[in-house]
Amino acid sequence: MEGACPLITAHTKLLAVLGYPVRHSLSPLIHNAALRHDGLEYVYVALEVEPAALPAAVEGLRALRIRGANITVPHKQQAASLVDRLDPLAARLGAVNTVVNEEGVLVGHNTDVAGFRAALRTLVREGAQGRRCVVAGAGGAARAVVAALVEDQAAEIAVFNRTYLRAQALCEEAREWGGSKCEPIDEQGLASVGPDADIVINATSVGLDPAVKGGPFPVDIVRSHQVVMDLVYGPEPTGLVRRARTRGAAAVDGLEMLVMQAADSYALWTGRRPSVDVMKAALIQAGE
């Protein structure tokens, strides 16, 4: 019955999110709300997995017959080498955020690209088409963001990363994904191109830990005309989002993307689309 809350029994299937850290994750909240709404006999849990233990944890999905898992920071790229098969998008990106256990065969998917594009469209109706973008990061989340910007036909993408060579390697790949201009930048380049960008995205984990001071972007690059997206989220707006709003920019954290990518993961595991409204309502209720 729709809306029923099934009992946990010996038949209950398990879903999980693997990350480090992961105790801040709101994924169990939104997925379990959708599962209850749909009356599906699943439970979704958060499992904290250190990087060295990820191979054993992924193999454990098969051994324990766990139906599927989300993969989050810092495991998305490593997970791509641990599954049995990759869907075309995950293979191209070399990053996995969703694993589906198909009768013992672990298949890696990437729902971050579609999730980011959907989240961006809540702020900019046409997405990144023809826009100048700056992305901080060169890891699994950043790769999905850059791929989404290329799909949207962004005019220019500048990638800033503390390890310049990683930003350079990402841009070299991105140029093969589509027609968008992609160039790596250092701190001096960020100060130069940042203020003229239309869209600014933090795709690093900076801000995930409240004890971390500062952020990937100096506040003085933010302008009122910009759209600022921080993929990090928490109980309060991130430092980047607060600073951007203070300067008049339209700014959101990662909650919208969290819900959008989660809906696609849910569909891969269960074969049905969840109610995005139910997922968002769970977030609102938790924040009250």
Q: Could you give the CA distance from residue 28 to residue 43 in angstroms, rounded to a whole number?
A: 8
Please answer whether residues 283 and 259 qualify as being in contact, where contact means their C-beta atoms are separated by less than 8 angstroms. Answer: yes
Cα–Cα nearest to 34, from 236, 266, 260, 230: 266
Structure tokens at 245: 């709003």
Question: What are the residues whose beta carbons fall under 8 Å from the beta carbon of 4, sequence distance 6 or more?
Answer: 36, 39
Q: Could you give the CA distance from residue 7 to residue 190 in angstroms, rounded to a whole number?
A: 53
Please answer whether residues 116 and 137 qualify as being in contact, where contact means their C-beta atoms are separated by less than 8 angstroms. Answer: no
Please answer whether residues 2 and 11 qualify as being in contact, where contact means their C-beta atoms are separated by less than 8 angstroms. Answer: no
Q: Angle 276-287/27-38 helices, nearest 10 degrees?
A: 130
**Given 13, 76, 213, 280, which residue is catalytic?**
76
Cα–Cα nearest to 261, from 113, 127, 126: 113
Please answer whether residues 19 and 48 qualify as being in contact, where contact means their C-beta atoms are separated by less than 8 angstroms. Answer: yes
Please confirm, yes or no, whether 76 is among the known catalytic residues.
Answer: yes
Cα–Cα nearest to 231, from 254, 262, 201: 254
Amino acid at 38: D
Q: Could you give the CA distance from residue 88 to residue 153 in angstroms, rounded to a whole number?
A: 20
The residues annotated as belonging to the active site are 76
